[in-house]
Amino acid sequence: MSVVTRFAPSPTGFLHIGGARTALFNFLFARHHGGKYLLRVEDTDKARSTPEAVAAIHEGLEWLGLAGDDDPLYQSSRAERHGEVARILLEKGHAYRCYLTPDELTTLREEARATGGQIISPWRDADPASAPDAPFTIRLRMPLEGSTTINDAVQGAVTVSHDALDDLVMLRADGTPTYMLAVVVDDHDMGVTHVIRGDDHLNNAFRQQKIIEAMEWPVPVYAHIPLIHGSDGAKLSKRHGALSATAYRDMGFLPEAVCNYLLRLGWSHGDDEIISRDQAIEWFGLDAIGKSPARFDMEKLTATNSHYIRSLPVDTLTRLMLDGDDTNAAIMTRLEQLAPAFAER
């Protein structure tokens, strides 16, 4: 089997440090197995997706050396294909048209919350002939009994009871696909074999696997990696260093240092701290990723960056100090003389 991974950011903001680590892990796993690493831009949320955010994500990935092997796929361009799959599932009997109004759905949710039960649409088993001439969603018909187990490459075997899974909406009333459907269809069509992403998506995997099984497609290997927390154990925020990748560039960090540090956030290879990209590709495996959240430490990142700066050739360091500006030969010579002193700092 040829390994194919993907990094699939939503362009609603910059490439944050957690997303950069996910991209890095996908890149390294694909390279380790001689496979492909792809980029998919999940831009279906038109209200929040912006061209500026798309550009910022590409810029951050380029700087880190994590651009995809092929041209990026834009999810918004595939709505017709997503709708096609929903209709196939409808024809197979794995899905149904649901005519619940927003008010009716709210009532069902409140009842389910009060009883701890599922939200079961009355249209699940209704006679299609009784359907009104009204907008409808298309829902996946989930099993009502039993359970589903995912053998996650990081989390191990994780099981969920089917009574915890509602009939998920695949197509909205306006005909647009939901995230759940689009992700599954795109992963299949892109040939993705390993889905490596944050463990905040673990609950989604059970629902997505049911779409895959209904379509009789191969189920990818799932690997849900723990999120990054701040040094105090709290959810990572700007005060901890949750900045964009390019913000670190502008602060003087080297891409090699940032990638090295991100690699060690949740993955280990013995006591090795400084790991080149070639070594990372050779050594990387999902079995060495821990299950607990990693803690972001700005001091450690700075120390890693200092190591890489000290290792730079003098002419490279000089040009970095100039930040690409042209200057005359005399100034260049003087900076080259001073560069080693800056490196030691």
Q: How many CA atoms lie within 13 A of 230 on its CB side?
A: 11
Query: Of 214, 221, 219, 215, whose CA–CA distance to 143 is shortest?
Result: 214
Q: Report the SS3 class of residue 222.
A: strand
- Annotated catalytic, 238? yes
At 20, list the tokens: 């950069």
Residue type present at position 197: R
Contact partners, residue 232, CB within 8 Å, separation at least 6: 240
Burial class of residue 130 in the structure, from the number of CB atoms within 10 Å of its CB (0-12 exposed, 13-18 middle, 19+ buried)? exposed
Of residues 92, 235, 238, 291, which has the active-site annotation? 238
Task: Quote the CA–CA distance of 255 and 249 in Å, as a whole number.
Answer: 7
Assign 3-state DSSP to the chain and report helix, strand, coil percentages, each to 5. 45, 15, 40
Residues identified as active-site: 238
